[in-house]
Chains A and B, each alone.
Chain A
Amino acid sequence: MDRRRFADWSLKVGIGAAIASAIPGVLTLRGKARSAATKAVEPGDRLVFALGQNAGQPVTRGGFSQNEAVLAYPEGKSDNHENLVLVAKLDPAELGPPLDMTGTAEGVVAYSAICTHLGCTVRFSEEPMDAAPFPHIHCPCHSALFDPRHGGVVMGGPAPRPLPQLPVRLNDKGEVVVSGPFTSPVGVKA
């Protein structure tokens, strides 16, 4: 090997090594993984109000009336935005498939409040509108429309998937308690 070829190879190997050494640094750009600080929802968690003067207090059967909904977190797990759920109280006679009926109690149903379209927080409305002449869930961002009586299925707008249902039950104090995992992945799916 002559000197010119040696210098040429040294340069190429040097550049390659410099690039390779940067890879671990680039991988840290991903940000921190969800750690112990951000816990996922688990069966047995009590749901507590996310907002308002009752924030942090348990959501109870008597805490809201029929055709009303509140935003809630599993107790102590409000750091994880994906835990935000919408708890609605509906007429039990109107509930039907594909809703998981075992995950409802006295008309109380819970859904992920993260829109499956682009992740905005959905809203509940009891006022009928043309596209949904019944209590419905809609997203203020791009007008996705969901049916809370039937498992959160898409009734209109751009959402690609139903809202994930969070099965709940009532404990002996009338508090809303999680009874199972979300029925599908929360938020925007790739």
Chain B
Amino acid sequence: MSIGGWVTGRLGLDRLRAKYLGKPFPVHSTFFLGEIALFCFVVLVGTGMYLALFYEPSAASITGGAGPMPLAYASIVAIDATPFGALVRRMHHWAAQLMIASIVLHLMRIYFTASYKKPREVNWILGLVLLGATIGASFAGYLLPYDQFSVTATAIGYGIARSVPWVGPALADYGFAGAFPSPSSVPRFFAYHVVWAPLALSGLIALHLVILLKQKHTEPAAARAVRAPADAHLIEGVPLWPQQASLMAVLMLVVIAVTAVLSAFLPVHPSAFYGPPQPITPEVKPDWYLLWVYGALRLIPGGLSFRFLGATIGSEAIGAMLVPGILALAIVLVPWLDRGTSSLYYAESPTASPRRLAFGLAVVTLFLALSLAGFGAELGLGVPVLWVITLAAPLLVWWGSYLLAGGRRGAGA
């Protein structure tokens, strides 16, 4: 008896194979965005496990070649000094950028094809939580190199936490282990970044995928035409083994190759270039996925504030909490604003509902306009002009796409 047969017999793998390996996976090029995010996470865990072997989570000052510097910063410079270490660290950064980018594209694919509708509301929420947790994990990782850029970015995060109404100072001190910059912050963020965040992300990803398997993937809209309505709950696609598994393996290798090539040619977060932390603040902008918050912070004038239930909601809380909070709430509530009456089996066409298309494009435009506001000084645009763009562009896009998708006709008929 072969070893494979022995293991199969002992573990009852035949039944497992019969039940799961034949699971059909509908194929469409946009159905791989979530998988790309998953493979980026795998790359992040792999490169992170390597980096953690060398990184020293301490802000204690040591005397390096160029004078005193924090231990964490010195260990990053040491990692960058070896060719393989530099490549792995860049891959870690690039995979994080690609993970967030693919999650955002995945989210847009789900939105514009209405795949959030009944019964997939739970996975819509879970997906948004995953996006938030990924951004949180990135933010925690941002501090770890402890260069001037990292410390500035985290100090702004600390300021934002402090500005939260009612609980701000306590929240900031609990989250950052005392007033930032404090020596306790580095071990705290190290724990967040290498233990709490990966564990939470792994659990959430597992839950997201189990629910996907249970509820089944939506099929491309074209499948509706070739299926009797009574058979809508059935699903056609390539089996998990071997077709879907091979597609996934190829995609995983492509993700690794792309991060490696990007890392080989495009430096990302060059800590030695930023230098160790100093009392002065460099000109910094956040990564692309937080530019819209940065833009909102620059747009809200200091005089804008109001009192609510005993707390003063100031300009910083409006820009970094209220505006993102309202946008996040609107996105979370999408499955309840656009409810399906029966279970959804086929992805809808993006133009099927002019209202959904217009709302989605308007929100995307708002994010882009706020990000543009982050570049006001570079573009020579004043705050009033940027306000007009931020308010007018989403409205114009909403109106234009609503009309182009036949919204008026639909309403009139």
Contacts of B163 in A (CB 8 A): 118, 188, 190
Decide if B87 is an interface residue (CB 8 Å cutoff): no
Interface assignment of A19: CB less than 8 Å from any CB of chain B: no
Q: Tell me whether A117 is interfacial, beta carbon within 8 Å.
A: yes
Q: Say whether A33 contacts B178, CB under 8 Å.
A: yes
Complex CA–CA separation, A117 to B280 (angstroms): 16
Interface residues in B, total, Cβ within 8 A: 49
Contacts of A117 in B (CB 8 A): 159, 297, 302, 315-316
Interface residue A14 (Cβ < 8 Å from any Cβ of B): no
Chain A neighbourhood of B155, CB < 8 A:
118-120
| Chain B residues, Cβ within 8 Å of A143 | 298, 376-377
- Given that A31-B178, A144-B302, A160-B315 are contacting pairs, would A121 and B294 also be in contact in the complex, using a CB cutoff of 8 Å? no
Q: B80 at interface (Cβ–Cβ under 8 A)?
A: no
The answer to whether B152 and A120 touch across the interface, beta carbons within 8 angstroms, is yes
Instruction: Report if A173 contacts B (CB, 8 A).
Output: no
Stretch at the interface among A1-9, A58-66, A87-95, A151-159: A151-159
With contacts A30-B178, A34-B179, A159-B302 known, is A140 near B281, CB below 8 A? Answer: yes
B282 touches A30 (CB 8 A): no
Q: Is B57 an interface residue (CB 8 A)?
A: no
Is B301 an interface position by the 8 A CB rule? yes
Chain A interface residue count, Cβ-Cβ cutoff 8 angstroms: 37
B281 → chain A, closest Cβ, in Å?
4
Q: How far is the CB of B293 from chain A (nearest CB, A)?
A: 10
* Cα–Cα, bound, A156→B162 (Å): 22
B179: A residues at CB distance < 8 A: 31, 34, 81-82
B279 touches A154 (CB 8 A): no
Within 8 A of B (CB), among A174-190: 187-190
Instruction: Say if the beta carbon of B177 comes within 8 Å of chain A.
Output: yes
> Which of chain B's residues have a CB closer than 8 A to the CB of A190?
162-165, 168-169, 311
Asked whether any CB of chain A lies closer than 8 Å to the CB of B394, the reply is: no
Return the chain A residue nearest B169 by Cβ. A190
Residues of chain B with a CB closer than 8 A to A159's CB: 302, 315
- Which positions in B face A, CB cutoff 8 Å? 152, 155-156, 158-160, 162-165, 168-170, 173-174, 176-179, 181-182, 184-185, 188, 278-284, 294, 297-303, 305, 311, 314-316, 319-320, 376-377, 383
A and B contact pairs by CB, cutoff 8 A, 20 listed: A29-B177, A30-B177, A31-B177, A32-B178, A81-B279, A113-B279, A118-B155, A118-B156, A118-B160, A119-B155, A120-B281, A139-B281, A140-B281, A140-B282, A143-B298, A158-B299, A158-B301, A190-B162, A190-B165, A190-B169
